[in-house]
Amino acid sequence: MTAERLRGNRRRRPPRTRVLRRLLPALLLVLVGVAGGLVASRLVPALFGARVSAVEEWLRGERFRLRHVDWLGLRTLEGPALVDTLGIPADTALIDLDVDAVLARLAKHPRVASAAGLRIPPDRLLLSVEERVPIAVVGTGSEGVDAAGVRFPLAPGEADGLPLLSGDASRALPLVRAARERGVALASVSAGPPGDVRFRPADVDVVVRVGADADRALQDWERVATSGLVRGYGAGEVDLRFANGAVLRSFRSKHENEGGETNEQE
């Protein structure tokens, strides 16, 4: 048999042999990994279990117990009173303090819009609170409502300067929000039937009727208010439900004003 034929025979090895040779390194790696995992599962707890327990015991010592609760973002609420409502056991180890549970209880407070918390070793809990900000007064004046329409008790003196809200708050609040953004001071806002929202400005004794577009109506009101027509005409009502125009109505006697109504256009 020639050398050439021998080389040809070596090239024509059975396919199964070639597959086994390719898979052998991968099989060895799997076996090594399984063996290493078994060894680690037995040795690591034995070597480090006692140390972990000792560290946990140390972290539950006196040095790492909750001593201080610090607050960020409080406006009207008082930190010590809030701590009493959170139900944190006295002398709690910081490692055992469930911050998520604390935040869940804090979120139930009617004046809290959102909250976040952080443990700061060795003995502090930092809580950040965003309080609800009232934009109007509802009911008898002891409750406020924020921009999202949530009602909550007001602090003493907090109702000063806020408009009194009546009727359907969901339809009145867009006007209140738009007025705050434009710097228009309101005395009251009422929402009656759909499409009829009324407000009283803080500086003029007149009723202003607006439609669905609160921002456009306030722009029209600012133009009418600076024109001097409201006081000059003695208007008791300004109707801004019409695009690019305002209807002024006077409720004086006919002897004082025969017309009773005027239409002011741009």
Q: pLDDT of the chain along its 266 residues, tens only? A: 454 554 555 555 555 555 456 655 655 554 544 444 544 445 445 545 566 788 788 888 889 999 999 999 999 999 999 999 998 888 899 999 999 999 999 999 999 999 999 999 999 999 999 999 999 999 888 899 999 999 999 999 999 999 999 999 889 999 999 999 999 999 999 998 887 899 999 999 999 999 888 888 899 999 999 988 888 888 999 999 887 678 999 865 444 444 445 554 43
- Specify the pLDDT at position 254: 42
Domains and their CATH numbers in the chain: 62-131 (3.10.20.310), 143-265 (3.40.50.11690)
| pLDDT at site 147 | 93
Sheet holding 151-153, edge to edge: 151-153, 143-145, 136-138, 164-167, 186-191, 197-201, 207-210, 237-239, 245-249, 261-265
pTM of full prediction above 0.75: no
Is the distance from CB of 68 to CB of 128 less than 8 angstroms? no
Asked if 68 contacts 125 with a C-beta cutoff of 8 angstroms, the reply is yes
* Cis peptide upstream of residue 122 (ω within 30 degrees of 0): yes
d(CA 248, CA 66): 65
Q: What are the Cα distances from residue 244, in Å, to 174, 203, 220, 241?
A: 20, 23, 7, 9
